[in-house]
Amino acid sequence: MSLRIAKSLVGATALLAIGASVVFAQDTTHAKKPTSSRRIPISKEAPGEVTRRVDTVNVYHTDTLRVNVAGPVVHDTVTNTVTRVDTVQLAPRPVPIRLPNGFYFGLAGGVSAPNGAIFTPNSAGPSAQLQLGWQGAKQLLGVRGDVNWAKPGEDSRFQGLQADPDILNFSVDAKLQLPFLTHTFGRTHRFGIYGIGGYTHTMFKNLPMRVDATGGCTIPDGALCFASGTGDWTHENGWNAGGGASLMWGRSELFIESRVLAFTPDNAPQSRQIPFVFGMNWY
């Protein structure tokens, strides 16, 4: 029994020795792996912590213009800068118009055409006028006084009667301004249409005219009779009536006007003048 046990122990010992040698041989065929002694810290972010990231982008835009010309190549770089400004500007308030009131004076000039008893032996001639009046810009009724001078021209058929005539008319008138179409030319100008008329005193000299057959006929012309004027001033009473249009701005007024100035001598039919004048008034 002891011999059998001894054999068994020897056999087991041998098997253990063979197994140990095989295991040792396998471990020696592999390289030893490196190890690190540094510890990697692992931690959690604090509660509520947010990581922010800011990206800055710069964009550059360059326009390059290449011009092909003989010789070296030239590169021109064109940089366009556009500035835009948005401006809001309020419209200014309109300035109120200050219309004049009261007295005014003015000058006018034009041409005067003969009519009636002085029509045939005379022709149209120059005319000048000086006026003084009172009227507000918005008032319908005003008054005006004026002096009108006229110098009739000669008629070739009556050269023997001509002696360089002169006519002066002194008028005192009422002036009625109509309240229509006042802003035809805008808010800064005032357009007006008016009528005028009243009394006229006429002075004349060297004025040939048609007279009655019993009124001192100098040159008979069929059924008509004409007489030459005298060198002395002759005075006659009469009337005038007419109208005009005006354009006012500030304290100035531009106007155009035409009237009939009439008188009737004792020995002649009614004599009439029709002046057409263009003038200015200042308030």
Average pLDDT of 215-220?
Answer: 63
CATH code at 109-282: 2.40.160.20
Could you state, in order of their start, the residue ranges of all structural domains in the chain?
109-282
Q: Report the pLDDT value the prediction gives residue 164, as an integer from 0 to 100.
A: 86
Return d(Cα 240, Cα 276) in angstroms, integer: 13
| pLDDT band per the 50, 70, 90 thresholds, residue 224 | confident
Return d(Cα 208, Cα 204) in angstroms, integer: 10
| pLDDT band per the 50, 70, 90 thresholds, residue 30 | very low
User: Of residues 88 and 173, which shows the higher confidence score?
Assistant: 173
Q: What is this structure's pTM?
A: 0.62
**Percent of the chain at pLDDT above 70?**
60
| pLDDT band per the 50, 70, 90 thresholds, residue 28 | very low
Q: Report the pLDDT value the prediction gives residue 87, as an integer from 0 to 100.
A: 61
User: Of residues 103 and 96, which shows the higher confidence score?
Assistant: 103
Is the Cβ–Cβ distance between 161 and 226 less than 8 Å? yes
Which residue, 135, 211, 145, is CA-closest to 173? 145
With 60 as the cut, is the pLDDT of residue 244 above it? Answer: yes
140-159: buried (b, 16+ CB within 10 Å) or exposed (e) per residue? eebebebebbbebebbeebe
Average pLDDT of 26-49?
Answer: 50
Average pLDDT of 178-187?
Answer: 80
Which residue, 268, 271, 161, 272, is CA-closest to 213? 268
Q: Report the pLDDT value the prediction gives residue 184, as an integer from 0 to 100.
A: 79
Q: Report the pLDDT value the prediction gives residue 128, as an integer from 0 to 100.
A: 98
When the pLDDT of each residue in the chain is averaged and rounded to a whole number, the result is 77
With 70 as the cut, is the pLDDT of residue 226 above it? Answer: yes
Average pLDDT of 229-256?
Answer: 94
Amino acid at 167: I
| pLDDT band per the 50, 70, 90 thresholds, residue 50 | very low
Q: Report the pLDDT value the prediction gives residue 13, as an integer from 0 to 100.
A: 58
Q: Report the pLDDT value the prediction gives residue 71, as an integer from 0 to 100.
A: 53
Average pLDDT of 99-128?
Answer: 91
Q: Tokens in use for 164?
A: 């360089």
Which residue, 243, 241, 242, 253, is CA-closest to 135? 253
Asked which of 11-15, 54-58, 268-272 is least confident by mean pLDDT, the reply is 54-58
| pLDDT band per the 50, 70, 90 thresholds, residue 243 | very high
- Residue-wise pLDDT for 131-175, tens only, equals 999 997 778 999 999 999 999 998 877 776 777 899 999 999 999
With 80 as the cut, is the pLDDT of residue 29 above it? Answer: no
Q: Report the pLDDT value the prediction gives residue 86, as an integer from 0 to 100.
A: 57
